[in-house]
Structure 1
Amino acid sequence: MEARVTRKPTEVLLHGRKGDERLLIIRYAQEGFYLSDVKDMLSTSTLYMEQDLVQRITGRSVRTVQRLAKETKPIRLNQQQSTVAFQYAQTLEHATNVFGSQQLAEEWLKKPCKYLDGYVPLELIDNSLGFQAVEDYLTRIEHGVYQ
């Protein structure tokens, strides 16, 4: 399963556009990511697919998202939805780098974390403050500073 992931989540979301610089990512989020690209990004992760994160990102029901996905013209998310989608992509990528594999990253993302006051990291990512707390902790782990 892990072998099928050939592109990083942020690369899938950015749809081949270069996006290393924060201002470019902001511009792309302002334009709005395509719903199809968000769904492709989520499909790179077993955990993300299991959690129906497209609902959390869009704030819409599964049925509404399915209906929108059938539209003939491509559907763009709004700026807030696009920002949340990028946060999920960035966190999965960062956790994969920190833990050495996507499988280990996904295991960490779905378990309560003592450093995050017992919150499950995955449940914090859709909030900008929660996302920052998760990213900060991943950076601490990366640098060997756990507490």
Structure 2
Amino acid sequence: MSATNTADTSTGDKSRPAGRRAAADKVSKTPTEVLLHGRKSDTPLEIIRYTQEGFDLSDVREMLEISALYMASGLVERITGKSVRTVQRLTKETATVRLNQQQSTVAFQYAQTLEHAINVFGSQPLAEDWLKKPCKYLDGNIPLLLIDNALGYLVVEGYLTRIEHGVYQ
């Protein structure tokens, strides 16, 4: 590879099209960082306060765009409980659309689980692959389909923690 080609692939490259630079910048943020918009998240009480305020629909959509699996799975509809058409209409409104507390909590659960799975499996493709396949430990359930339920989320997170510590079936 020539020296000029090497320079073109560096992270500070300005020769890449703006869309590709933006996509690369988006990937560098974790799902919870995108969802929280840089706000502090040191304690669970802060997260509770943010979910009570409600996340912006645009932030939730941006968080979901980090993952090809999340986009293909129609999670924005699962999170909001609204049809595809209604969500499209809401995103076109000029006023900020905020999710309610329950919807915001579910959005955070998806962000947190994807981030945890990436940390456990070492890469996003491996994490997404695990999230979409039936899991023996979860009685054959697909982890992705359990996350929007509070108890399902706890079970999936608990299992990820067990995998992380090497204590799994």
Range of TM-score over shorter length: over 0.9
1:112-138 alpha-carbon deviations (Å, 9 max, x no partner):
000000000000000000000000000
1:7 corresponding residue in structure 2: 29
Please list every run of 5 or more consecutive structure 2 residues that lacks an aligned counterpart in the other structure: 1-22
* Deviations, residues 30-61 of structure 1 (Å, cap 9, x unaligned): 00000000000000000000001000000000
Q: What does residue 94 of structure 1 align with?
A: 116
In structure 1, the residue corresponding to 2:28 is in which secondary structure?
coil
Could you list the per-position Cα deviations for residues 90-130 of structure 1 after superposition, in whole angstroms to 9, with x for gaps in the alignment? 00000000000011000000000000000000000000000
TM, length-normalised to structure 2 = 0.85
Superposition pairs for residues 9-48 of structure 1, below 5 Å? 9-48=31-70
Larger Rg: 2
Counterparts of 2:54 and 2:165, CA distance in 1: 33
Look up the equivalent residue of 2:110 and give its one-letter code: Y
1:76-97 Cα distance to aligned partner (Å, 9 max, x none): 0000000000000000000000
Q: Deviations over 1:2-53 (max 9, x none)?
A: 8861100000000110113100000000000000000000000000000010
The runs of 4+ residues in structure 1 deviating greater than 6 Å are none
Structure 1 segments unaligned to the other structure (5+ residues): none
Q: Percent identity?
A: 74
RMSD: 1.3
Judging changes above 3 Å, is the alpha-carbon distance between structure 1 residues 54 and 124 closer, same or farther for their aligned structure 2 residues? same
CA distance in 2, matches of 1:91, 1:98: 10
Secondary structure at 1:74's aligned position in 2?
Answer: coil
2:138 maps to which residue?
116
Rounded Cα–Cα distance in structure 1 between residues aligned with 2:106 and 2:42: 17
Pairs aligned (count): 147
| Counterpart AA for 2:69 | L
Is residue 2–residue 102 contact of structure 1 (8 Å, CA) maintained in 2? no
Instruction: Specify whether residues 110 and 64 from structure 1 end up closer, same or farther in structure 2 by C-alpha distance, changes over 3 A only.
Output: same
